[in-house]
A = this chain, B = another copy of it.
Amino acid sequence: MKKVLLCEPNISEGRNLEVVEQVFDQIRQVEGVKILDSSSDADHNRSVFTYLGEPEAVLAATKGMAAKAIELIDMTQHQGSHPRMGAVDVVAFIPVRGIETEEAVEFARRFGKFLGGLGVPVYYYEDAATRPERDKLPKIRKGQYEALEEKLKDPAWTPDEGPAAFNPKSGATVTGVRFPLLAFNVNLRTTDLAIANRIARAVQHINGGYRYVRAIGLALEEEEMVQVSMNLINYTLTPIPRVLETIRSEAARHGVSVAGTEIVGPVPLDALEEVLKHYLQVHDFSMDQIIETALID
């Protein structure tokens, strides 16, 4: 089995699409890298690329992408509604096939050293974290770009790579290895946002819900519905059917039914295994039975 690493960088440019294209080109031109997704959000002023391939090719693409983003993006001019700390804001590496977390962490570290060498303070998070308090992205990014100059004077926030000095143009970067994240939304046949909010609170970790669920309620004005919009941050331990059936039951309590769901963006095949096993009650099914898996090198 060939080794396959996935990478998902978030850069702080979502309005000037000429800049975004130039950065994206650095990924596209690397042989052996396959693009799964790319999207830019003007309101967030942020773009996300998703690509995978042989780990060395993915690392090369990521280095090229980051160097170009550092060159073209000026954080002193950046405004947007999404939390951010740097031009290359977050770079997540995700092991897909034939590669363990430890090996993926080595690639994240090689990327971190490269970016540090370009004069950007770098913090490692999730499975690449060097200290428990740097485990989670929101903790590292707290105060955002604007707090960075002060933060870097605090020895507790000495970067893992790069200078312990404020770089006004590029800010700082968070990189590491994490489990694939699943964006899963459930639409409800009501316009009552309070119901979506109530259900979001019921399923999400911080309010007593499922450990690996982050959720918010949203109004879908055009569709005249509301949505429980979620990130499932570990679909193995908190699988899709369990979350969906809980939402269905909570919604029924308000006389509301599930209108439909959305799985947004790329999803690993094994995230769907639990769906088959739960709803078909097919206890012994192996994903290797899927014919197409024989066609993967």
Binding site for B on A (CB under 8 A): 2, 4, 6, 34, 36, 52, 96-97, 180, 240-241, 244, 258-263, 265-269, 272, 275-276, 278-285, 289-297
Contact = CB atoms under 8 A, between A and B. Distances in A.
A296 B267 CA distance: 15
Give chain A's interface secondary structure class.
mixed
Closest 6 pairs between A and B when the two form their complex, measured CB to CB: A279-B279, A295-B296, A269-B292, A260-B281, A261-B282, A34-B294
A291 B96 contact: yes
Contact of A268 (B261, B282, B292): B292
B290 A268 contact: yes
A275 to B, nearest CB: 6
Given A275-B276, A276-B272, A276-B275, A282 B263 contact: yes
Contact of A292 (B241, B285, B293): B293
A240 B295 contact: no
Contacts of A258: 281
Nearest to A185: B282
A279 B36 contact: no
A46 B280 CA distance: 30
A280 B278 CA distance: 11
A243 to B, nearest CB: 11
Contact of A296 (B6, B263, B282, B292): B292
Contacts of A240: 280
Contacts of A266: 289-291, 294
Given A97-B292, A265-B289, A279-B279, 8 more contacts: A36-B291, A97-B295, A261-B281, A262-B284, A263-B285, A266-B291, A266-B294, A268-B290
Contacts of A52: 291, 294-295
Contact of A241 (B267, B279, B289): B279
A70 to B, nearest CB: 28
A281 to B, nearest CB: 5
6 contacts: A241-B280, A244-B280, A260-B282, A261-B282, A263-B280, A275-B280
Nearest to A2: B295
